[in-house]
């Protein structure tokens, strides 16, 4: 598996060299988010502030089994991209962790972390390992940081940026994605044998395009953005070439989701949503009015609900097997 990891990382490095997508510096962003998770986009909530990245993990924290009860979860880490950061979910551009489906504190979102705390337990500490524009290959660089924090639960929602590229040719191949996702989940499982992983499917990006393709405001915004031109370029075009390109993006996302399910199913400590997030039919109000593409607060709430349903189903299955 270490050989596979090196191969996946090497492939990512080669692809990154020809794909000049603007992203925040990985380590710096993770460090800032870890320190400032409670302060991002404050809306009255108060997220639990994790220790600084250099602090030694506490050895006295309770360690749950691979299938913990919700109340036994002391900390949850979220590996992801701008969706997990809650980008554009608030009333202004940029990250808004309060409205994050995974780690948010906003009552209207009722995030996964909030639900893990339950009504009679302390809310778990939240550890954001998400970056704007992150691909699954780039997440591999932060596995050791995540392992060092020793979270009890790790959510993984990645893949949108592997399909949403600046050009069609810049999309991550299905084979490369499968190798990177398999390595990511395996290394997290190996490094955190007592933790449970929750692997989410990639949303149906084409369905989000369908929501905005007839909206002049959305089409205008998409045409000015260099991001996701693999899907959103000529968003209102009905030409056969553009239709074929969108269909190919849709198939790539489906291939990604098959790889996520396969990689997760192979691990006894991983829970998959079984494609449930991809099956969600978002409504216009579920998309941010800022860019008509990232989830709004209501969209984040819908993702949180899907995640929680997958988690509880996984816990029930684990209990039945025991």
pLDDT band with cut points at 50, 70 and 90 for residue 318:
confident
Q: How far is CA 304 from CA 155, 157, 196, 235, in A?
A: 11, 12, 17, 28
3-state secondary structure of 196: strand
Domain ranges of the chain: 2-12+29-42+75-317
User: What does the pLDDT average to over 243-263?
Assistant: 99
pLDDT for 214: 96
Contact 286, 298 (CB under 8 A): yes
pLDDT band with cut points at 50, 70 and 90 for residue 16:
very low
User: Which one is predicted more confidently, 49 or 214?
Assistant: 214
Two structure tokens written together for 145: 């940081």
The model's pLDDT over 121-150, given as tens digits with 9 standing for 90+, comes to 689 999 999 999 999 999 999 999 999 999
Contact 288, 88 (CB under 8 A): yes
Whose CA is closest to 113, among 132, 95, 99? 99
User: At the topology level of CATH, where does 2-12+29-42+75-317 sit?
Assistant: Rossmann fold (3.40.50)
Handedness of CA 306, 300, 164, 9 (dihedral sign): negative
pLDDT for 52: 32
Helices 205-212 & 240-265 angle (0-180, nearest 10): 140
The model's pLDDT over 160-204, given as tens digits with 9 standing for 90+, comes to 999 999 999 999 999 999 999 999 999 999 999 999 999 999 999
């Amino acid at each position: 598996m270490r050989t596979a990891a090196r191969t996946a990382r090497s492939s990512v490095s080669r692809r990154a060299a020809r794909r000049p997508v603007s992203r925040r510096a990985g380590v710096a962003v993770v460090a800032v988010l870890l320190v400032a998770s409670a302060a991002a986009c404050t809306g009255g909530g108060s997220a639990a502030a994790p220790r600084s990245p250099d602090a030694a993990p506490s050895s006295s924290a309770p360690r749950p089994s691979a299938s913990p009860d919700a109340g036994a979860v002391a900390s949850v880490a979220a590996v992801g991209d701008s969706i997990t950061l809650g980008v554009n979910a608030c009333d202004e551009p940029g990250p808004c962790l309060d409205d994050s489906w995974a780690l948010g504190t906003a009552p209207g979102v009722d995030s996964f972390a909030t639900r893990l705390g339950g009504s009679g337990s302390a809310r778990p500490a939240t550890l954001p390992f998400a970056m704007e524009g992150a691909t699954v290959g780039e997440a591999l660089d932060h596995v050791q940081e995540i392992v060092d924090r020793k979270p009890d639960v790790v959510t993984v929602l990645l893949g949108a940026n592997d399909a949403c590229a600046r050009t069609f040719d810049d999309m991550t191949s299905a084979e490369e994605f499968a190798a990177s996702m398999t390595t990511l989940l395996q290394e997290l499982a190996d490094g955190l044998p007592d933790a449970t992983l929750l692997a989410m499917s990639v949303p149906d990006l084409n369905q989000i395009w369908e929501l905005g393709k007839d909206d002049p405001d959305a089409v205008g915004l998409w045409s000015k953005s260099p991001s996701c031109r693999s899907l959103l370029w000529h968003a209102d075009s009905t030409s056969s070439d553009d239709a074929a390109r969108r269909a190919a993006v849709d198939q790539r996302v489906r291939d990604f989701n098959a790889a996520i399910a396969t990689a997760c199913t192979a691990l006894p400590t991983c829970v998959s949503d079984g494609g449930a997030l991809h099956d969600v039919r978002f409504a216009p109000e579920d998309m941010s009015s800022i860019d008509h593409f990232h989830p709004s607060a209501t969209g984040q709430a819908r993702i949180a609900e899907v995640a929680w349903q997958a988690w509880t189903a996984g816990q029930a299955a684990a209990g039945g097997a025991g």
